[in-house]
Amino acid sequence: MTELTQYQQPAPMSATGTGLVQWGEALTAAHRIGSALCSTAFAPSHFRGKPEEAAAAILYGAELGFSPTQALRSIFLIGGSPGLYAKQMVALVLTHGHEVWTEEKTDAKVTVKGKRAGSNHVITETWTTARAQKAGYTKNPKYGTDPQAMLYARAAADVCRQVAPDALAGLATSVEELEYEQPLPTVRVTRAKPQPTPIPEPEFEQIEAAPVTPEPDVEPDVDHPADADGVVELITQGQSKALHASFNDAGIKDRDARLGYCRNLIGRELTTSSDLTRHEASRVIDALKQDAEVTE
């Protein structure tokens, strides 16, 4: 890892100065590294596909003493402002030889103290729930779910900025503070739709298949409505398989529940799925697909 050194404000440089040329070379190298890293799963999601932002984070991290990979994992850009989590700020200050410690930590009150290396002056910062509420920070739901962490982040960041502003390279805010003004973007993870688990029971159409008789295909006690062309065309074998799969996707396993679904949709009585016409079978399959999409 790059050795951490005392931060020094760079002197102003002219457009032709060697310092600016070196900075430009560093930017080119940072962009090359960022382009390689932000296309991998190792880089945080907010840097993936953004080599320019990754390069800026790498350059900024170099001023803090971070390696390129540490910079991408530690620095967050929220609303155009860089930030570190409070715990990372504390770690950076400790690395420079300064002291930061927690005096008290409860859900209602957190006190953090610190002092600069070589100094006996102790900086103390206390954050309470009442103080955070008065400042308007408790609008962040994390104050309700993890109050200790949020109060600690406020107190620790305040101490670090006072004890060692040079170690933070002028970093003014922590990620927790930036999140209050503009929350970190939500990363939506699209999960692959799980394949339906095979059911160790006979196929749906086999359970409901009408008995084979020498009589006509249409059972005499069932009134099959004619399709649009006036001809009664019953459900095909392919539709029957698709119907079975659609019921599985929709989570409807029971035979009676399946028949009830069909009856409610087409508005007539059924004793078996074989009583469905082609048109009715298509309506049921389409409706099941829509139900499955809604419940995903």
Distance CA 69, CA 36 (A): 11
Q: Which of 176, 180, 182 is nearest to 155 (CA)?
A: 176
Number of neighbouring beta carbons within 10 Å of residue 267: 9
Let me know the angle formed at the C-alpha of 118 by 113 and 122, rounded to the nearest 5 degrees: 20
Judge if pTM exceeds 0.75: no
Domain limits, the chain: 1-10+21-74, 81-185, 204-291
* Per-residue pLDDT of the chain in tens (296 residues, 90 and over written 9): 344 444 444 444 444 456 777 777 778 887 888 788 887 877 777 788 888 888 888 888 888 888 888 888 778 777 667 778 888 889 889 988 999 999 999 999 999 999 999 999 999 999 999 998 988 888 888 888 899 999 999 999 899 989 988 888 766 567 777 665 544 444 454 555 666 666 555 454 444 445 554 444 434 344 555 555 556 788 898 888 888 888 888 788 888 888 888 888 888 888 888 888 888 888 888 888 877 765 55
By CB atoms closer than 10 A (0-12, 13-18, 19+), residue 250 is buried
By CB atoms closer than 10 A (0-12, 13-18, 19+), residue 211 is exposed
